[in-house]
Amino acid sequence: MRQVRTLGLLGTGVIGGGWAARALHFGIDVVAADLKPEMQEWIRGAIANAEGALARLTLAPLPPKGKLSFTTDLHAMARQADFIQENIPEQLELKQRVLADVSHHAPADVVIASSTSGLMPSDLQRGMVAPQRFLVAHPFNPVYLLPLVELVGGQRTSAAALDAASSFFTYIGMHALRVRREVPGHLTDRLQEALWREILHMVNEDVATTGELDDSIVYGPGLRWAAMGTNLIYHLAGGEPGMRHMLRQFGPCLKWPWTKLEAPELTEALIDKMVAGTQAQAAGRSIRELERLRDDYLVAIQQVLKPYNIGAGATLRALEERLYEAAAAGARERITDAGQPLRLVETYVRPEWIDYNGHMTDSRYLQVFGDATDALFRYAGVDDAYRRSGRALYTVETHVSHQAEARALEPLYVTTRVLEVDDKRVRLFHSLHRRRDEALVATAEQLYLHVNTPPGKASPMDAAVRARLADLQAAHRRGHAQDR
């Protein structure tokens, strides 16, 4: 299977727009294909609506954003894509026909995945060319923030296709959950549907309103589910003996007629109750307003979980580690002439970095300079493994000088010189430039102290790290002298 640089979307809509926003944010080009030309405006609006939340998801250095193109020619999309994600309506015959057609135009090493929430991959891959490259990749809305994607292979799906899909989705910050065998509804929707059926029964029987039922989740189990699923939570409920004690104590309750497996008849009266209840909960807020509210708290929850390395926070943490290492690897490739300042960061002014004057706010200058420092230190050998050994470099002093303005979406880059190195200290000089005219926007001189972290005391740095930094210092001193 090939490396994915371009994602092809077969159908747009809510899920397609979510796929596009996530892929573009992490540097993947997107070719969106839909038979309805008006969907081009819709998907661009969906991407714009997602950008604010995505920009706050992580402060790690990001690759340049991918480019979006739109076409009504499904075959043209298939010929350009390195990976195809299908998002057309949930109708088996329609999906079979379109997938088979597109498979004739997509190269055989291009994975084709379906976003279907319940159809079986073995049914969908019938009639396809190279059906072994087909699988289900079922995401959850909003796709650009929720990391879960269920991977389900059909009878003819190859292990290579599943591996390739898992690698791609992990690359764009998702948790790829492989479903052991295909079942209708996969895993998560089966669990959600059981809860949904009980909701319909209780609303239908006037046991509770939609708002009261949502409160019963939001203020209770929903908070636990953000990091621990039902099974682990119930394991805790058993005390020290765990799940075994919990089942012996509460297992008999499963015989009680609390729940109803079959859904009630969906009468007009029940539909009216559901609509009235959810409209009351919305309280006049539009769908877009509610989407932004949902996105804001989803970002906040993942950021809260990240330090604990659990649930979606663990996925975000792994993504950030990859992004920082990728930035350092890019810096290593750019260090061709050590006598010149190192061009370590390529970025742009994200809209949320702007203050009330329309300029990049002060804290973001420190963030960008910090990204350059991180890339330099990783090049020198101060990476995650080095820090786990109990050693790190800490900022002691920072002096920033502002020279010019940086406005929203302005492309920027940072160059870095090593001014001084000894056993315990490193002094750096950063220059931030506008890419369009090479204007100097700001400079920063920073002093770092090498610390043995457990006792919190200054200590000599690793000899190999110091040697690499010292080589750069000598080269930069010579280069700076020649430039005068």
Task: Tell me the CATH number at 408.
Answer: 3.10.129.10
Residue 136: burial class (beta carbons within 10 Å; 0-12, 13-18, 19+)? buried
Residue 446 maps to a domain? yes
- pLDDT band, very low/low/confident/very high, at 114 (cuts 50, 70, 90): very high
Residue 308 maps to a domain? no
Task: Quick: pLDDT tens for 313-342.
Answer: 999 999 998 988 888 777 777 665 556 788
Residue where a domain terminates, one of 178, 203, 227: 178
pLDDT of residue 345: 86
- pLDDT band, very low/low/confident/very high, at 465 (cuts 50, 70, 90): very high
The helix, strand and coil proportions of the chain, stated in percent and rounded to the nearest 5, come to 50, 20, 30
- In this structure, the answer to whether residues 138 and 270 fall within a common structural domain is no
Higher pLDDT, 283 or 419: 419
- In this structure, the answer to whether residues 354 and 221 fall within a common structural domain is no
DSSP code for 354:
B
* pLDDT over 90 at 266, yes or no: no
Total domain count, the chain: 3
Q: Where are the alpha helices (DSSP H) in 172-267?
A: 188-204, 210-218, 221-225, 230-237, 243-250
- pLDDT band, very low/low/confident/very high, at 273 (cuts 50, 70, 90): confident
* pLDDT over 60 at 152, yes or no: yes
Residue 304 maps to a domain? no
Residues contacting 133, CB < 8 A, separation 6+? 1, 108, 109, 110, 111, 112, 157, 158, 161
pLDDT of residue 357: 83
Residue 316 maps to a domain? no
Residue 234 maps to a domain? yes
- In this structure, the answer to whether residues 232 and 133 fall within a common structural domain is no
CA pseudo-torsion sign 89, 13, 68, 148: negative
Residue where a domain terminates, one of 264, 284, 304: 284
* Mean pLDDT to the nearest integer, 151-179: 96
Task: Quick: pLDDT tens for 9-54.
Answer: 999 989 999 999 999 999 999 999 999 999 999 999 999 999 888 9
Nearest to 45 by CA among 63, 20, 64, 62: 20
Q: Tell me the residue type at 200.
A: L
Residue where a domain terminates, one of 178, 203, 223: 178
What are the tokens at 211? 């708002």
Half-sphere exposure of 71 (CA within 13 A, CB side): 15
- In this structure, the answer to whether residues 43 and 127 fall within a common structural domain is yes
* Full residue range of the structural domain in which residue 94 is found: 6-178
pLDDT of residue 116: 95
What does the alpha-carbon distance between residue 444 and residue 401 come to, in Å, rounded to a whole number? 6
* pLDDT over 60 at 444, yes or no: yes
Residue 326 maps to a domain? no
Alpha carbon distances (Å) from 37 to 16, 50, 95, 480: 15, 21, 20, 56
What does the alpha-carbon distance between residue 433 and residue 366 come to, in Å, rounded to a whole number? 14
Alpha carbon distances (Å) from 467 to 110, 252, 289, 428, 461: 45, 68, 54, 16, 10
- In this structure, the answer to whether residues 236 and 166 fall within a common structural domain is no
Q: Mark 433-452 as b/e (b = at least 16 C-beta within 10 Å).
A: bbeeeeeebbbbbbbbbbbe
Secondary structure class of 334 (helix, strand, coil): helix
CB 321 within 8 A of CB 61: no
Higher pLDDT, 244 or 157: 157
pLDDT of residue 134: 97
Q: To which H or E segment does residue 450 belong?
A: strand 440-452
Residue 235 maps to a domain? yes
What DSSP string runs through 389-407? TTEEEEEEEEEEEE-S--B
For the chain, percent of residues with pLDDT exceeding 70: 97
For the chain, percent of residues with pLDDT exceeding 90: 59
- In this structure, the answer to whether residues 247 and 350 fall within a common structural domain is no
- In this structure, the answer to whether residues 366 and 413 fall within a common structural domain is yes
- pLDDT band, very low/low/confident/very high, at 418 (cuts 50, 70, 90): very high
Task: Quick: pLDDT tens for 47-88.
Answer: 999 988 898 898 888 888 999 999 999 999 999 999 999 999
- In this structure, the answer to whether residues 339 and 383 fall within a common structural domain is yes
Task: Quick: pLDDT tens for 193-251.
Answer: 989 999 999 999 999 999 999 999 888 888 888 877 887 777 877 778 777 877 777 77
pLDDT of residue 295: 86
- In this structure, the answer to whether residues 420 and 455 fall within a common structural domain is yes
- In this structure, the answer to whether residues 384 and 416 fall within a common structural domain is yes
Half-sphere exposure of 250 (CA within 13 A, CB side): 11
- In this structure, the answer to whether residues 174 and 221 fall within a common structural domain is no
- In this structure, the answer to whether residues 153 and 21 fall within a common structural domain is yes
* pLDDT over 70 at 375, yes or no: yes
Q: Tell me the residue type at 266.
A: L
Residue 324 maps to a domain? no
Task: Quick: pLDDT tens for 277-310.
Answer: 878 878 888 878 888 888 888 888 999 999 889 8
Higher pLDDT, 180 or 356: 180
Residues contacting 428, CB < 8 A, separation 6+? 373, 376, 416, 417, 418, 419, 445, 446, 448
Strand ranges, E, within 29-80: 29-33, 68-71
